[in-house]
Structure 1
Amino acid sequence: MLIIGGQGRLGSAIREAWAPHTEVLALTRQELDVKDAGSVMKVCEAYQPELMMNTAGFTNIDLAEEEPEEAYRINAYGARHVALAARAVGAQLVHFSTDQVFQGTPDQSYEETAYPLPVHTYGASKVAGDRFVQAIQPQSLIVRTAWLFGTRPVEEEIHSAASSSRSSVWQVDPSVIGCPTYVPDLIRSVERLLELHCSGLYHVTNSGSCSIQEFREAVGALTPALEWPSRSSQRTTHRARCPERVVLDPAALTRTGIPPMRHWHEALVDWVNRNA
């Protein structure tokens, strides 16, 4: 398995989960730049992976407004380069996407068939990347997810929020509503989809939704001795307007026969207990 973006939060977690039973090559941005089509093709031809996980991305929502060309080079054309290389070597491709492809509504949950209508550059660049993958490698697995947590011990992850971009669940405005996703649960669902030889677009998050404030309060209740960094609870001025409520409906998972992922609060308790 080749993990593109292998040193990021998600890529690192996938590497740790799969390494005991799979030969894994996890490449950093320095080792494989998705913006360079020739480099991506050369690496794939050299290693001939059977499975490719594309976790690379320009995820800083605010910075994407200042650097839209770079966001598209990585999120859109980078995905295109990866899909072309996967097709050339006959590899199964798993491409990770985001809930931010939708505009958000106060009372609607989005199934996979819902039409994307992003409200910022980051979301638009991810839509473009998803469409490249769908067109070039139709048998790929595209996984839309949201609000990742649980890649590190609780205290370490929360305190890293002070230097995180708004793509981090810890830096989203407190009133925003979405679906928290425990990374180990996400990885297990992806493994199940691959076992069933599934392809196409899937929404994969933990069950339930909440506001960021509710999520933080739940973490605080489980870790009363933990001191939060001040920045993580402050509302700041943002360049990009983000949707106020995006809830993903895992309709495709249900049709496949895969049970919904457990509620996010149950997963949160598991994460805290594992790191107690």
Structure 2
Amino acid sequence: MARFLITGAKGQVGYCLTQQLTGKAEILAVDRDELDITDQSAVKNIVVFFKPDVIINAAAHTAVDRAESEAELSEAINVKGPQYLAEAANEIGAVILHISTDYVFEGTGAGEYKEDDQTHPQGVYGRTKLDGEIAVQKANPKHIILRTAWVFGEHGNNFVKTMLRLGKEREVLGVVGDQIGGPTYAGDIASTLIKIAFEIINGRTDVFGTYHFSGQPYVSWYEFADAIFAAAETEKLLKKRPHLNPITSADYPTPAKRPANSRLDLSKIKAVFGIEPSDWRKALKNIKAYSS
């Protein structure tokens, strides 16, 4: 039975990975309480002890706005941690799968970003995630970097849960309408990583590199919120649906600049692995699970 070390096990994707791999592999799922990935010796010790075939790094400093004032912490978790995991994996011949983000791009271009398009992060979060990608690439040739965007799921904090909470508290909501992306269900990210991992375990050696995976169709945050409330209304989660107003990014200033265009080109992952985009509308049909 294959052995998987999962970091960030209490996060949105890490939780789904643990759930989906149970019974299919030997799992060591750790969060920051069990393993500080910024501690190089601790990382090496746990990898040598467990001897995983695959490490999936789902740990990250994802608080985009806080990252602007916590640059050192972001650097440690998003760059050094992945580097240490990749180095330890390389030493025992293991594969590392690492989750990255659309924030590595400037987000001002037209169309969908391909894996080899020019990166130009606009903030600390994006910069450290890009540096983490580079660190993984240098440390271990047997790597998969999976860039994704707009992650949501039943477990953890995310936009869907925030909208459901605000929908109960307010009659009118302003939601940004000039940022476009692909909402991505955490469970689909997990199943994608697992599929890739098992293909590698079963002998595929020509697939290492960087891939994009996100949801479709592409929408604005305003359109995503509208779909969330439509699903909530169908399931009678709200007494009254709030009135939504589209606002601009300028109307809602944040410490970190958000990409206006987060659309990722998904043709490579489909061509190589036959993996289809995440169906976020299908995931919203389980809206009751997000309101608990």
1:2 aligns with 2:17: no
Q: CA deviation at 1:174?
A: 4.7
Please tell me whether the aligned partners of residues 99 and 148 of structure 2 are also in contact (alpha carbons under 8 angstroms).
yes
| Identity %, equivalent residues | 30
Given the alignment, which residue of 216, 220, 227 partners 2:229? 220
* Distance in 2 separating the partners of 1:124 and 1:159: 26
Given the alignment, which residue of 250, 272, 276 partners 1:256? 272
**Rg bigger for which structure?**
2
Mean Cα deviation higher: 151-160 or 195-204: 151-160
Please tell me whether the aligned partners of residues 112 and 251 of structure 1 are also in contact (alpha carbons under 8 angstroms).
no
* Distance in 2 separating the partners of 1:95 and 1:74: 13
Residue number in structure 2 paired with 1:207:
216
Residue number in structure 2 paired with 1:49:
52
Residue number in structure 2 paired with 1:242:
258
| Residues 1:153 and 1:240: Cα distance change in structure 2 (over 3 Å) | closer
| Residues 1:204 and 1:56: Cα distance change in structure 2 (over 3 Å) | same
Given the alignment, which residue of 142, 147, 164 partners 2:145? 142
| Residues 1:260 and 1:157: Cα distance change in structure 2 (over 3 Å) | closer
| Residues 1:37 and 1:172: Cα distance change in structure 2 (over 3 Å) | farther
Mean Cα deviation higher: 89-98 or 191-200: 191-200
* Distance in 2 separating the partners of 1:200 and 1:175: 31
Question: Which structure 2 residue ranges, 5 or more long, are not aligned?
Answer: 167-173, 201-206
Q: Which amino acid aligns with 1:243?
A: P
Question: Which structure 1 residue ranges, 5 or more long, are not aligned?
Answer: 164-170
1:30 aligns with 2:33: yes
Please tell me whether the aligned partners of residues 177 and 246 of structure 1 are also in contact (alpha carbons under 8 angstroms).
yes
**Per-residue CA shift, 1:112-140, capped at 9, x if unaligned?**
11121100010000000000111111221
Report how many aligned residue pairs link the two structures: 267
TM-score, reference length from structure 2: 0.82
| Residues 1:122 and 1:6: Cα distance change in structure 2 (over 3 Å) | same
Q: Which is richer in strand?
A: 2
* Distance in 2 separating the partners of 1:42 and 1:55: 19
Q: Which amino acid aligns with 2:264?
A: L
1:114 aligns with 2:111: no
Residue number in structure 2 paired with 1:99:
102
Given the alignment, which residue of 18, 21, 25 partners 2:24? 21
Please tell me whether the aligned partners of residues 119 and 241 of structure 1 are also in contact (alpha carbons under 8 angstroms).
yes
* Distance in 1 separating the partners of 2:156 and 2:121: 32
Q: CA deviation at 1:250?
A: 1.4
Please tell me whether the aligned partners of residues 203 and 248 of structure 1 are also in contact (alpha carbons under 8 angstroms).
yes
**Per-residue CA shift, 1:139-158, capped at 9, x if unaligned?**
21111111112234999961
| Residues 1:54 and 1:264: Cα distance change in structure 2 (over 3 Å) | same
Residue number in structure 1 paired with 2:287:
272
Mean Cα deviation higher: 118-127 or 252-261: 252-261
